Amino acid sequence: MESLNPVRDTRKSYICLVSGLEITSTGPASIQKASGESAKLDCQFTLASEDTGPLDIEWSLRAPDNQREDTVVLLYSGDRAYEDYYPPMKGRVHFNSPDPKNGDASISLTGLTSSDSGTYQCKVKKAPGIRSKKILLTVMVKPSRPRCYSEGTTQEGKDIVMRCVSKEGTNPLQYVWEKTSGNKLLPPTATLDTAAGTIIVKNASASASGSYRCTASNLVGTDECVLQLNVTPPPNTAGIVAGSIIAVLLFLLIIAIILFCFCRARHRKKYEKEICNEIREDVPPPKSRVSTARSFTVGSQRSSLGSMSPSNLHEYVKPQYDKIPSTEEYDRPPSHAPLPPPTASRMAGPNLSRMGGIPVMIPAQNRDGSIV
């Protein structure tokens, strides 16, 4: 054990002799900032007389794993600063001191975004001394304005779920519900989940109605929304059922009336068509009055003559036509036409020819039209 002490002391002396460069910053090793803000990363150093080489200052963004190389963000070398070395941060990163070789290698980042989050390393090299410092920068996004809403029914006796959600915001986010109307106390059956942003009111009553406010917050900001809850009484189930039955019955009644009217109209149309056909079959076609009377008279006389035998002709005497029959006599039906006298005198031949008639033997007839 005694032999090891001189060796250890000698090693310490060697390190102090070789490395006179020291990082003297006392700032925090972790910084949390909101997006859009600015951040200052401290890196002060001191040099010793043993450090005689050129001064190089390098700020780099460490890779999340060892498989990738670190990304150089800012560089000072040969008494010159290279502030536009990393294009994504061009114009947003610069040294705080106009001459970093005086011992201040601190930088400032402006217009922070969530992609700027990571571990930054400040490395100061002045041969033979080399020193570095790491700072964790977390760029957080404050919560966006949350949306408050209720799920499901808001009836008495039901479980009501109210939700509060922010679309943007760096975790961890917390949600706090509070009632801002009435007695400003949450319902006794309410259960609050600050991480999920939900509040469940079991077996809700009318007293749960009112205005509620939800506040979403994280380490860099807060925002809130308001929900107006209205707990309604349960619906009248019996009335709804009765109304539904009445509506169905009315619908069926309307359909029945329509079908009845349709069938009745169809039956009436069919009946009228049958009556019309019967009338057309029973009624004979109209005939001319004069031609009918004449054809009937001549036809009846011919039929009477045709039924007579030659032996009976001597009993009939030709009637004398001393005048032309009037139109009324032609229009009379055969049953009412005047009968010739039983014994008629013979008409002279010259007179009959002069009148344009043809002598015809006409048998005598009774008033009813029968041959005597």
* Residue-wise pLDDT tens digits, 17-42: 455 789 998 888 999 999 999 999 99
Residue 182 vs residue 336, higher pLDDT: 182
Q: Give the number of other CB atoms < 10 A from CB of residue 57.
A: 22
Residue 58 lies in a domain: yes
pLDDT greater than 50 at residue 182: yes
CB-based contact 149:169 (threshold 8 Å): no
**How far is 155 from 151, CA to CA, in rounded Å?**
12
Domain span holding position 48: 22-140
Q: Report the SS3 class of residue 87.
A: helix
136 and 162 within one domain: no
Interstrand relation of 22-23 and 45-46 (parallel, antiparallel or unpaired): antiparallel
On whether residue 57 sits in a domain, the answer given is yes
Whether residue 243 is contained in a domain is answered as no
How confident is residue 271, by pLDDT bands cut at 50, 70 and 90?
Answer: confident
Whether the per-residue pLDDT at 211 is higher than 90: the answer is yes
One domain for residues 182 and 108: no
Beta-carbon contacts of 289 under 8 Å, excluding residues fewer than 6 positions away, are 331
For residue 2, is pLDDT > 50?
no
What pLDDT, on the 0 to 100 scale, is given for residue 27? Answer: 83
Looking at the structure of the chain, the number of domains it has is 2
Q: Pick from 108, 140, 172: which residue ends a domain?
A: 140
Same domain for 96 and 38: yes
CA distance 13 to 4: 15
Read off the CATH number of the domain in which 104 is found: 2.60.40.10
Question: Which of 167, 197, 229 represents a domain boundary (last residue)?
Answer: 229
Tell me: do 116 and 91 sit in the same domain.
Answer: yes
266 occurs within a structural domain: no
Q: Where are the beta strands (DSSP E) in the chain?
A: 22-23, 30-34, 39-41, 45-46, 55-61, 71-77, 81-82, 93-95, 107-109, 118-126, 129-140, 147-151, 160-165, 174-179, 190-193, 198-201, 210-218, 221-229
Q: Looking at the structure, tell me whether residues 127 and 182 fall in a common domain.
A: no
Q: In this structure, how many other beta carbons lie within 10 angstroms of the beta carbon of residue 292? A: 14
Domain boundary among 229, 245, 272: 229
Q: How far apart are CA 173 and CA 195, in angstroms?
A: 7
- Asked if 135 and 191 sit in the same domain, the reply is no
Question: Does 102 lie in the same domain as 179?
Answer: no
What would the pLDDT profile of 143-176 be if each residue is shown by its tens digit? 999 999 999 888 998 999 999 999 999 888 999 9
Rounded to an integer, the average pLDDT of 11-16 is: 38
Residue 54 lies in a domain: yes
pTM listed for this prediction: 0.51
Within a domain: 56: yes
pLDDT band at 193 (very low <50, low <70, confident <90, very high): very high
Asked if residue 215 is part of any domain, the answer here is: yes
